[in-house]
Chains A and B, each alone.
Chain A
Amino acid sequence: MAHLDFEKPLVELESRIRELRSAADGDAAIDAQIAELEARASTLQQDLLGDLGVWEKVQLSRHPERPYFLDYLERIFDDVLELHGDRVFGDDPAVVAGFARLDGESVCVVGHQKGRTTKQKQHRNFGMAHPEGYRKAQRVMELAARYGRPVLTFIDTPGAYPGLGAEERGQSEAIGASILAMAELPVPVIATVIGEGGSGGALALGVAERVLMLQYATYSVITPEGCASILWRDGARGPEAAQQLRLLAADAERLGIVDKVVSEPVGGAHRDPGDAARRLGAALRRELGELRSWSVSDRLDRRYARFRGIGQHA
């Protein structure tokens, strides 16, 4: 399993536990040794997390084994029906949109999708959407609105793709239009930052009356590397820029950018994707239960007021 540098001692300990376990075969002495190692692993895990700096947490949000949108989709929802295409130019695999059932009720689900293998990563363009992705998202969200289905979005992107075709086909317009469309949706909308909340490409799916964020997700105006490259002409100084950007979940909560932080399993969502999905599913059910009772005008006013109040000035 792929791991980050700071996870190495833990991963090594765990692989020893696995080896011992396969060799144990009911041997009481080995069982005792396993129990001891497991206790050490648990302590080590707590220590590692306690020591995590901002940059390590940024790395966790991009962890190669971190659950992506589709991993949550299959665990939390049933009867997933993906819908493709923007009806104008093409279908963008970096954004997945469609309908699914949550406890039997149909809801609209939209999210960025990253790939796990090299081939998948290329296919999903590392979760960096083209204009078609945002236009598909907008199309499906507006479809959901026509049928009174709540909209749940899942944000996980380094940012919208900065390329030739993206510019030619109106990346800016696609993002702006998606933001406007979400601000006007008459149905309940919950956005959750599940990994990287990168810039306008993230916000294009992020206008909701409730914005949640996973514990080790980030939400930022620019990637730390991009910030460093602008400030110091050196993208390698990303870790320094990350310190300045206040992009962690706790920062976002303090600044009023997200409403609730959803805790992850010890060590991060990738350590136990099933548990991570249970926690996220529970949070979504709780929020949705509350939001469904609001009237349309109340909902639009509250969504407006939520963003209207963000910012600090003298």
Chain B
Amino acid sequence: MDRVSKNPPTVEAAEKKTLGRGVFRRCDNCGETLKAREFTDNLEVCPACGHHFRLSAEGWVEILLDPGSFEEHDATLASADPLGFVDSKPYPERVRASRRKSGVDDAFLAGSGRLLGRPVQLGVFIYRFMGGSMGSVVGEKITRMFERATERGEPAILLSASGGARMQEGALSLMQMAKSVAALGRLRRAGLPFVSVLLNPTTGGVAASFAFLGDVNLAEPRALIGFAGPRVIEQTIRQKLPEGFQRAEFLLEHGMIDRIAPRPEMRATIARALGHLLD
């Protein structure tokens, strides 16, 4: 199924600031008002200040893979309600509402495709679906992605954008960390590369499982990346966090990621890394 052509790159509703019937858009970062087309043409990066706004999962597929090469897998996997979890509303209701709003069934898009001609397995978190949280469906899709890559002898590329494990599925969500990482272990044993791309934000159980286990770890400029969220840390240590803490640049400085790649260079950076490992 080719859902990319039907869903061109979009931004999160909250970040969309369009003026004059969608013709102009004001950058939330630098305040510059530019033609909306200039943002979309520039892959949701502000042409004036270079701020990276969130690109949808579908948008990532479009900018990374060769046109028409994407074939989605496991699109119909849907979450159950194993705990009977109720907060302000029952979990199944929350999922239904999120489906209506996001147009997708859960928080992960997986498929096969070609990256500059090379067959790859690609997976992207869908942040607009419950904050990209990882429950049974996301864990299963990632595990299958690694297994498919291992079977087919293809590299795996995973773009993370997630607040972490999905609370509403309790410890079953936690166990998805072990399940997916174990599948990654098999990919490694098969001698196949895994490129992990950390987008804004990558925290909690997603950060603390496969996201840092890439053969090569890449990140977008200024992406928030960490184990604990900034609010939790501030509450724990009872002090304000320094400017730039847990940003991609901070992680690069502390040796946790290999490179920061601006969005227009991401495809070429991934391709070069795979080339060095495989060709």
Contacts and interface: CB of A to CB of B under 8 A. Distances in A.
Nearest to B179: A307
A231 B87 contact: yes
Given A172-B227, A304-B186, A313-B78, A179 B178 contact: yes
The bracket for how many chain A residues form the interface is 35 or more
Nearest to B255: A170
Interface centre among A173, A230, A232 (most CB of B within 10 A): A173
Contacts of A176: 177, 181, 207-213
A180 B167 contact: no
B172 A312 contact: yes
A129 to B, nearest CB: 11
B99 to A, nearest CB: 13
Contacts of B236: 161-163
B179 to A, nearest CB: 5
Interface string B79-90: 110110111100
Interface residues of B, number: 60
A106 B161 CA distance: 44
Interface stretch (A47-55, A70-78, A219-227): A219-227
Contact of A311 (B78, B87, B140, B228): B140
Contacts of B211: 172, 176
B278 interface: no
A190 interface: no
Contacts of B213: 173, 176-177, 180
Given A203-B178, A206-B178, A219-B171, A226 B232 contact: yes
Contact of B182 (A163, A231, A308): A308
Contact of B170 (A179, A207, A220): A220
A171 B184 contact: no
B140 A313 contact: yes
Contacts of B226: 167, 171-172
Interface in A130-175: 160-164, 166-173, 175
A170 B256 contact: yes
A221 B167 contact: yes
Nearest to B231: A229
A285 to B, nearest CB: 25
A314 B227 contact: no
A226 B182 CA distance: 27
Interface centre among A202, A220, A222 (most CB of B within 10 A): A222
A166 B225 CA distance: 13
Contact of A220 (B171, B178, B227): B171
Interface centre among A163, A168, A179 (most CB of B within 10 A): A179
B170 A246 contact: yes
B228 to A, nearest CB: 3
B244 interface: no
B233 A179 contact: no
Interface centre among A183, A244, A247, A311 (most CB of B within 10 A): A311
Given A172-B208, A221-B173, A311-B136, A245 B83 contact: yes
A172 B201 CA distance: 14
B163 to A, nearest CB: 9
Contact of A171 (B82, B140, B189, B227): B227
Contact of A255 (B82, B86, B186, B205): B82
B138 to A, nearest CB: 9
B172 A311 contact: yes
18 contacts: A161-B236, A167-B246, A175-B227, A177-B212, A183-B182, A203-B177, A220-B174, A221-B169, A226-B232, A244-B87, A245-B167, A245-B170, A255-B170, A255-B172, A304-B182, A312-B82, A313-B137, A314-B80
Interface of A: 160-164, 166-173, 175-177, 179-180, 183-184, 197, 199-200, 202-204, 206-207, 219-222, 226-227, 230-232, 244-247, 251-252, 255, 257, 303-304, 307-308, 310-314
Q: Which 7 A-B pairs have the closest CB atoms?
A: A162-B228, A311-B136, A172-B207, A171-B227, A173-B212, A175-B208, A183-B182
